[in-house]
Structure 1
């Protein structure tokens, strides 16, 4: 869902000191995106995407994450002063007129069960979600929870979970029609177990077969809190590949995040 990510980057640029109305273009065919990079930065990007989708596009969002959210990006706190980490301690909590639902499955089995139940009436009332967010796929896929070595079952779990996410999004898209013309989309984050000099992560290789676009976060060489953000795998409405979009993410000492077009 690269239109959501692009909207996030445009919304939280250095020019947006406060709330700014931005034009929203129709979503491209790309309906799933994988954010790859630092876990803390990826989580912040996913939180910004969830809030932006709810507030700017008015869609319902379901947000799955393994660990309790302890802090919010500073730019999000300033944008929504009433939103606090304490508000997110409940397993199910809604804000922005009940637009976002947070859920905390602790194992891949719990996550699979909850994703598989997204079509049930309890989750589609008053309307089905239009955005599924999964924070930290690596934490669910790696049974040991660490970054050392590969689990033989990791690739099969990656394929099973990815296929279920895509299938659930496709089914929810049918439920959304004719109320919405845009499809239900999926954004997830993943921290690779290998460094840039090593071969491709086996699990990431599987995920790339299911997620149509990738958002890669790379720390700028020699700089503490400057990141390069690349959006790749994007296709236009004629299903032709487009050039990789590049942004720069600047994080100030107090934690404020802002994006700039490169």
Structure 2
């Protein structure tokens, strides 16, 4: 199965993009988790877009964890995902843990038979991981940072273990063996001159990072766009190029895209 995130981009690729007919190449290994890094509202919109695309067009059962209840879809998603059938919506299970402890319990609960029968979820989505990582009350900055790193390592390890467990069930119980994927989002802290050590910890578990960066220059307005976002893939989950046949295409698909949002809230993706 092509990478879910790339499949979503391909599905909404600009019709004017001359590369629209290129072969889809997965930018990540089958066991790779993807971490969306960027502004909260955009990463949530991206996660919802992936979730509804996976359920409606790829038939994937998935679990979506978030602290904030989803009342309505962003207008841009309503326009690009019209007419979703009730059967497709049933493939998405929304869960609203309030604390890190509840999130850990609910992720661990995905191992239980009630969540794996008749088929387990093939996608686990975690929205805004930073919301679950609260600093240690009354602790120093160093102690708080160490606590957050420990918590995120615990959560990430549990996610990887759960995905591996569910992959084993999927391989045995489905006619078309597939893998359970993890996609999570995280907004880095604004640290002057310091690296975000929580993000560094996440990078050890999520082998592919997808960075969303808004272009705030004149380019968006000059092109008649409401917003312009650059999407960069990085990390060890990008496969090494072992042949020259698809080398240029592989690099393009794996490393950089753009998201174009028009004044009427329609969105398109294009390969850079």
> Kindly tell me: are residues 210 and 28 of structure 1, through their superposed partners in 2, closer, same or farther at Cα, counting changes over 3 Å?
closer
RMSD: 3.1
Identify which of 161, 171, 176 aligns with 2:170.
176
> Kindly tell me: are residues 170 and 30 of structure 1, through their superposed partners in 2, closer, same or farther at Cα, counting changes over 3 Å?
closer
Question: Counterparts of 1:71-110 in structure 2 under 5 Å?
Answer: 71-82=72-83, 95-96=87-88, 98-110=90-102
Cα distance in 1 for residues equivalent to 2:75 and 2:155: 32
Residue 187 (str. 1) matches residue 179 (str. 2) = no
Cα distance in 1 for residues equivalent to 2:104 and 2:95: 12
**Conserved in 1, the CA contact under 8 Å of 2:56 and 2:89?**
no
Cα distance in 2 for residues equivalent to 1:256 and 1:41: 14
Cα offset for 1:246? Answer: 0.5
Question: Counterparts of 1:5-154 in structure 2 under 5 Å?
Answer: 5-15=5-15, 28-82=29-83, 95-96=87-88, 98-143=90-135, 151-152=144-145, 153-154=147-148
> Kindly tell me: are residues 211 and 156 of structure 1, through their superposed partners in 2, closer, same or farther at Cα, counting changes over 3 Å?
same
**Conserved in 2, the CA contact under 8 Å of 1:28 and 1:237?**
no
> Kindly tell me: are residues 23 and 120 of structure 1, through their superposed partners in 2, closer, same or farther at Cα, counting changes over 3 Å?
farther
Deviation readout 1:145-186 (Å, 9 max, x if unpaired): xxxx77331111110000000000000011111314221010
**Conserved in 1, the CA contact under 8 Å of 2:31 and 2:179?**
no
**Corresponding residue for 1:231?**
233
Cα distance in 2 for residues equivalent to 1:255 and 1:14: 14
**Conserved in 1, the CA contact under 8 Å of 2:230 and 2:257?**
yes
Higher helix proportion, which one? Answer: 2
Cα offset for 1:238? Answer: 8.5
TM-score (norm 2): 0.79
Cα distance in 2 for residues equivalent to 1:186 and 1:226: 26
Is the radius of gyration larger for structure 1 or structure 2?
2
The gaps in structure 1 that reach 5 residues or longer are 17-21, 85-93
Report how many residues are paired. 244
Residue 208 (str. 1) matches residue 203 (str. 2) = yes
Cα distance in 2 for residues equivalent to 1:11 and 1:73: 18
TM-score (norm 1): 0.81
The gaps in structure 2 that reach 5 residues or longer are 17-21, 221-226, 244-249
**Conserved in 2, the CA contact under 8 Å of 1:2 and 1:31?**
no
Identify which of 259, 263, 270 aligns with 1:253.
263
> Kindly tell me: are residues 30 and 213 of structure 1, through their superposed partners in 2, closer, same or farther at Cα, counting changes over 3 Å?
farther
Cα offset for 1:11? Answer: 1.0
Cα distance in 2 for residues equivalent to 1:40 and 1:202: 22
Residue 219 (str. 1) matches residue 214 (str. 2) = yes
Deviation readout 1:75-106 (Å, 9 max, x if unpaired): 4323444569xxxxxxxxx8506211111111
Deviation readout 1:193-252 (Å, 9 max, x if unpaired): 126x63321110100000010000111142562111011223338999x74510111222
